[in-house]
Structure 1
Amino acid sequence: MTVSTAILDRDGVVNHDSEAFIKSPSEWQPIPGSLEAIARLKHAGLRVVVASNQSGLGRGLFDYDDLFAIHDKMTRQLSELGVALDGIFFCPHTADDACACRKPRPGLVEDILRRWNLKPLDCVMIGDSATDIEAARAAGVTGFGVRTGKPIDPSDPRWRDTRIFDDLSSTVDHLLAARSRA
């Protein structure tokens, strides 16, 4: 596997998710080992990008200042580990908006591919929901699932042929091992 870029969903992959949405920096809490996993990807030379649906914006549950403060907290904690994300992409729309960027549509992933002139085979996407995997597939990118977010039902046909790991850290273990064998 010669992957150069890891695209990560945020809520449920990097940080604990909430049915009530993550609306403030105090609510944003990293999943144990997730920030260290991002650091391992960066130290291995991979580009790491977050791609996240943030419909709380469209619902009026928080505003852009709140979202940017959450992202600032995440990036500060990563900087304490000596790394930085290469980008943070988000969709502010609700499902009713029928936009191209809200996962499961591939708009966010396709934007990432365009911005770095990447081929789908250059990337993997790691998500906690079927919509993440569907967006990855629609863009031609391999998707991996994690069990740290939304409940994954292995009998759901949308997960067919998708590797599912316990968390981001174990997914990164797999990616880096596959990369070293390539």
Structure 2
Amino acid sequence: MNKALLLDRDGIINHDLAYVHKVADFSFTDHIFSLCQQAKALDYFIIVVTNQAGIARGLYTEQAVRELHQWMIAEFKKADIDIQKAYYCPHHPEHGGLQYQHNCLCRKPMPGMLLQAKREFDLDMSQSVMIGDRESDVKAALAAKVNRRILVKSDYTQADNLDDTAATEIVECLSEIKF
């Protein structure tokens, strides 16, 4: 079995500027490449799991997300980092009409994307790590039985009661995370 570094996208890989879907608006966060280099050196697969409600809201298309992810993966490749796959959930419980409006199993905090990655890449979730900036990220990881669940503080966590978090670690920034 393999182990994985599971990464939320907006707020972890790129600065969260709300509904980022164009290369021109995409800005990598500090330390994301060095963090992924650490994981790669320890034979972690690197997998992205991201909610993309902007699709259901009609702000951009699935094609726009796929193109952005292709570009993002190519940028990581330039730094000698392989992203095995970027999963995204296009759904929203309140927006999107018949095609996208429903409570699915892939939208975090549900574990669908993580469980799909587990199946596709033969992952040992007990040896894997999830990093996100929202409680929904760590709840999805908990439901998928990921033992190490890291919450990076953000504007979203300020509203949450971190005493009740499902995270096993809380950090201020990516540079605090060690493997």
Q: TM-score, normalised by structure 1?
A: 0.84
Residues 146-165 of structure 1 correspond to what in structure 2 (within 5 A)?
A: 146-148=152-154, 150-152=156-158, 155-159=161-165, 162-165=168-171
- CA gap of 1:15–1:95, structure 2 versus 1, over 3 A, is same
Q: In structure 1, list runs of 5 or more residues that go unmatched.
A: 177-182
Tell whether 2:32 aligns with 1:31: no
**Alpha-carbon displacement from aligned partner over 1:102-132 (angstroms, at most 9, x marks no partner):** 0001111111111122232021111100000
- CA gap of 1:4–1:93, structure 2 versus 1, over 3 A, is same
The structure with higher relative contact order (CA 8 Å, sep 6+) is 1
Q: Aligned equivalents of 1:57 and 1:161: distance in 2?
A: 28
Match of 2:126 in 1: 121
**Alpha-carbon displacement from aligned partner over 1:78-123 (angstroms, at most 9, x marks no partner):** 1121121011111110133100100001111111111122232021
Correspondence for 1:84 among 82, 85, 90:
82
Structure 1 consecutive aligned stretches of length 4 or more whose deviation exceeds 6 Å: none
Tell whether 2:13 aligns with 1:14: yes
Paired amino acid for 1:167 = C
- CA gap of 1:168–1:78, structure 2 versus 1, over 3 A, is same
Contact map agreement 1:23 1:66 (CA 8 A) in 2: yes
SS state at 1:141 partner? coil
For these two proteins, the number of residue pairs brought into alignment is: 170
Q: In structure 2, list runs of 5 or more residues that go unmatched.
A: 95-101
Paired amino acid for 2:176 = S
Paired amino acid for 2:93 = A
Paired amino acid for 2:16 = D
- What is the Cα deviation at residue 149 of structure 1? 6.0
Paired amino acid for 2:115 = E
Paired amino acid for 1:155 = N
Paired amino acid for 2:135 = A
- RMSD (CA atoms): 2.0
Paired amino acid for 2:125 = P
Residues 36-115 of structure 1 correspond to what in structure 2 (within 5 A)?
A: 36-96=34-94, 97-115=102-120
Match of 1:166 in 2: 172
Paired amino acid for 1:31 = T
- What is the Cα deviation at residue 161 of structure 1? 5.5
